[in-house]
Amino acid sequence: MMQIKRTGLTWISFLSYALTGALVIVTGMVMDNIAHYFDVPVASMSNTFTFLNTGILIAIFLNAWLMELVPLKKQLIFGFILMLVAIAGLILGHSIALFSACMFVLGIVSGITMSIGTFLITHLYEGRQRGARLLFTDSFFSMAGTIFPIIAAAVLSRHLPWYLVYCAIGLIYVAIFIITLFTQFPTLAKTGQQQRETKEKWGPGVFLLAIAALCYILGQLGFIAWVPDYATKVLGFELGRAGQLVGNFWTAYMIGMWVFSVVLRFIDSQKLLVLLTALASVLMYWFNHAADPNTLHLIIAALGFFSSAIYTTIITLGSQQTKVASPKLVNFILTCGTIGTMLTFVVTAPIVNNGGPHAALMTSNSLYIAVFICCLLLGFVSKHRINHVNN
């Protein structure tokens, strides 16, 4: 019975990351069609998607406290109702204000679900198994990034309504809802251990990791969001081929997570993080300056592979900065990463307006370099080795 419970909760975690990945990653594919649907410039439409990212941020930030007040099962059931309402609004609504509101609701649903998914993994697994499980869970984010750009390209190339893409994404939550109904959830303690966690000082390593998480997510999503636009308008790719670039990135990203979930058992996580961020920075620079279309597919796949373990390793290292893994500490780093999500189009849309999509890709490259510097500095202040020995 305990194994069945753990399996159900683990699958909810997997699907929660797939849901967020699908919602965030298809933006670059559907943005141009939705802009034409509402007859607004693409850059203005990209700002509208900030409502999705804002909803994710608010939900993740507040759910650190909300999880203590509202049972996890009730949250997921209510999220299913909100998902149905939001998708119905996308299908039936014809105003950009209603579209923005629906995006915000989808962000709320995604943020609540993802924060619950992250908590469940840190609650169910300990030690090195936690890091490996977090990596595998995060691979479902990239798995959605592999599948849903292909679905979006198939829908849009056949001139079908763009909202069908979001209907397909909604099926992920249908699966979450069904598993939720038949699964028992853990309850959160409000005292004792959590009081000890809040008294323990986090140290500078946590804040370096928080900055790295923000810069990494902002850099990654800024890059992926504008790759289709760069490929079609600058390089002359067809939409399907541009979607394949994004798909190659997330396919390699998913494979990389599986590989590095094994590698992390044998290599110090901070040293691995420095190596991966350095390689990712170089590969992104190469992609931004490569001219051969065939080479681009290989470079972006390599970029996806070596980027795959960065974010999850940042979160894992954050949880190891204190002797007892603090849910609030993990949530703090997750929130900073989500701020990067929220800022994606706030930062990149003006850059695209002034310098085109290539300028946005170069900005993302600068952010990857900032992540590398943070991870390098972390080596001087990180407490993960001490706490690992003590545990």
Q: pLDDT tens digits, residue range 334-377?
A: 888 888 877 888 899 899 989 999 999 999 999 999 999 999 99
- pLDDT tens sequence across 279-319: 999 999 999 998 788 899 999 999 999 998 899 889 888 87
Within a 10 A sphere around the Cβ of 128, how many other Cβ atoms? 14
pLDDT for 211 beyond 90: yes
Residue from 105, 136, 118, 103 nearest 64 by CA: 118
Report how far residue 234's alpha carbon sits from residue 289's, in angstroms, rounded to the nearest whole number.
12
Q: How far is CA 54 from CA 13, 169, 234, 344, 351, in A?
A: 21, 19, 30, 10, 20
The tens digit of pLDDT for each residue in 240-265 reads 788 888 888 988 988 898 888 888 77
Domain ranges of the chain: 2-187+196-390
Residue 205 sits at the vertex; the CA angle it makes with 112 and 196, to the nearest 5 degrees, is 65
Token pair listed for 161: 């309504």
| CB-CB contact of 189 with 195 (8 Å) | no
CA 169 to mean position of chain CA atoms: 15
DSSP label of 40: -
Quickly state the pLDDT bin for 390 (edges 50, 70, 90).
very low
Q: Which residue has the tokens 């090195």?
A: 128
Task: Report angle CA 305, 310, 313 to the nearest 5 degrees.
Answer: 130
Instruction: Label residue 288 exposed, middle or buried (CB < 10 Å: 0-12, 13-18, 19+).
Output: middle
What local confidence, expressed as pLDDT, does residue 325 receive? 58
**pLDDT by residue (tens digit) across 138-164?**
888 878 877 888 898 889 888 899 999
Question: pTM of the entire structure?
Answer: 0.75
Cα angle value 348/351/354 (rounded, 5°): 150
Q: How far is CA 48 from the centre of its chain?
A: 19
Please count the residues of the chain: 391
CATH 1.20.1250.20 fits 2-187+196-390, yes or no: yes
The Cα 33–Cα 156 span in angstroms is 8
- Check whether 388 has a pLDDT greater than 70: no
Taking the C-alpha atoms of residue 318 and residue 313, their distance in angstroms, rounded to an integer, is: 8
Cβ atoms 54, 177 nearer than 8 A: no
Q: How far apart are CA 209 and CA 199, in angstroms?
A: 20
Three-state DSSP class for residue 322: coil
Token pair of 26, please? 């298809």
Per-residue pLDDT reduced to its tens digit, 219-238: 998 999 899 889 888 888 88
Max CA pair span of the chain:
60
